[in-house]
């Protein structure tokens, strides 16, 4: 008689309280294992909170990147059905095209044959405004991706943990920095030893200290961004929104038309200097999360520059055809990105110890599928 192999339940220590670590805890608990998750802060505070909350299929490169994003989209919807506090919503997205060069890139992309798998199609201005009536500004068309979605990043980890804690096989230990990891044990700064059959280290952008001890230098870079959030818009933004600058940023749009766009339609100076695109998603309270910039050269500035925010406010007002609501919050964040362009840097650093980081700007999107891959690779 054949069937699924018998799974031996084990104890897993997850180091890191961001979305990637939490999704590893989720999949392990789902398979009946006992999980201890350790976070150095009193609560997670890194890039897993300082993001758009986008589940973003748009622009993912064909192949593994797109496959992981699509699988993660399925998992987010499934998990969101069980944890309503995540605020999962299948709102889709519109990438607004305002210049002939941007439209040409979208037309070339549409001819590439991957639109059906992405749930994407090129629409004219009338259809774009039917999909999202809040977009009253001038446009030549838009890429409408029905498979894009969103969650609430500031509460997602908290809601996932609350669900895990209710099951009785999960322990959450905040305010403890793990200083040393060896086969079968993690030692924190309280001197406590946490034993596990498997230890999964998800440090986010904290690439020194423990990571350097475990793995030495790794092919992962850090990226700094700036974002902001407004007061409630006063009307519903039915989709997430990107502008044409995102065509320059996401690898799926690469091709001759994009090369012509870069040559003939340069970005405004501030956008080019800060490597900007516009992404915008409406929060549950009606406010707008808007960004972002990209800085790669360390050491990063400790302050935030005002010019990118001015540019974003102007661009949003143009897309909406109305003044932007008042800005209530501005912030900076740092995430880690694998140098080889893969969706994650995953490495077994010693027996039973795994390191995962470098999810880049796709961490919120792809973490459920990345974590699923890990637990399946480990046979859990």
- Which 8-state DSSP code applies to residue 197? S
DSSP calls for 74-107 = HHHHHHHHH-GGG--B---EEEEE-SHHHHHHHH
CB proximity list for 1: less than 8 A, separation 6 or greater? none
Query: Could you report the per-residue pLDDT of 308-337, keeping only the tens digit for each?
Result: 999 999 999 999 999 999 999 999 999 999
- The pLDDT value given to residue 137: 97
pTM of the model: 0.95
In the prediction, which pLDDT does 9 show? Answer: 73
For the chain, list the domains and their CATH numbers: 9-91+148-219+342-380 (3.50.50.60), 93-146+220-338 (3.30.9.10)
Helix axes 64-82, 363-377, angle to 10 degrees: 90
Report whether pLDDT(62) > 90: no
**pLDDT value at residue 61:** 87
pLDDT digits (tens, 9 = 90+) for 92-130: 999 999 999 999 999 999 988 767 888 999 999 999 999
pLDDT band at 8 (very low <50, low <70, confident <90, very high): low
pLDDT in tens, 152-172: 999 999 999 999 999 999 999
d(CA 158, CA 137): 37
More confident residue, 7 or 306: 306
């Amino acid at each position: 008689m054949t069937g699924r192999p018998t799974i031996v339940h084990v104890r897993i220590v997850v180091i890191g309280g961001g979305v990637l670590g939490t999704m590893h805890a989720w999949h392990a608990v789902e398979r009946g294992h006992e999980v201890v998750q350790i976070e150095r802060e009193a609560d997670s505070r890194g890039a897993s909170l300082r993001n758009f909350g986008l589940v973003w299929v748009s622009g993912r490169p064909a192949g593994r990147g797109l496959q992981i994003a699509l699988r993660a989209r399925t998992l987010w919807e499934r998990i969101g059905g069980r944890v309503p506090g995540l605020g999962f919503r299948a709102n889709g997205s519109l990438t607004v095209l305002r210049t002939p060069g941007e439209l040409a890139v979208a037309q070339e992309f549409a001819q590439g044959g991957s639109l059906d798998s992405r749930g994407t199609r090129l629409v004219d201005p009338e259809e774009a405004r039917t999909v999202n009536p809040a977009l009253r500004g001038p446009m030549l068309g838009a890429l409408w991706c029905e498979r894009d979605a969103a969650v609430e990043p500031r509460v997602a980890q908290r809601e996932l943990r609350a669900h895990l804690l209710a099951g009785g096989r999960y322990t959450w230990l905040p305010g403890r920095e793990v200083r040393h990891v060896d086969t079968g044990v993690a030692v924190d700064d309280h001197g406590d030893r946490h034993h596990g059959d498997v230890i999964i280290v998800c440090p986010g952008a904290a690439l020194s200290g423990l990571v350097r001890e475990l793995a030495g230098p790794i092919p992962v870079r850090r990226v700094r961004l700036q974002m902001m959030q407004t007061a409630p818009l006063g009307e519903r933004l039915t989709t997430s929104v990107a502008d044409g600058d995102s065509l320059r940023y996401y690898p799926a749009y690469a091709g001759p038309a994009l090369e012509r766009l870069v040559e003939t339609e340069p970005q405004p100076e501030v956008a080019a200097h800060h490597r900007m695109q516009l992404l915008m998603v409406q929060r549950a309270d009606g406010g707008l999360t808007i960004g972002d910039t990209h800085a790669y050269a360390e050491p990063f500035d400790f302050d935030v520059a005002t010019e990118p925010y001015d540019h974003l406010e102007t661009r949003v007002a143009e897309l909406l055809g109305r003044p932007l609501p008042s800005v209530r919050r501005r912030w900076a964040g740092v995430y880690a990105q694998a140098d080889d362009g893969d969706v994650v840097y995953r490495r077994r650093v010693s027996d039973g110890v795994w390191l995962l980081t470098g999810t880049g700007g796709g961490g919120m999107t792809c973490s459920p599928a990345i974590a699923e891959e890990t637990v399946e690779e480990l046979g859990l």
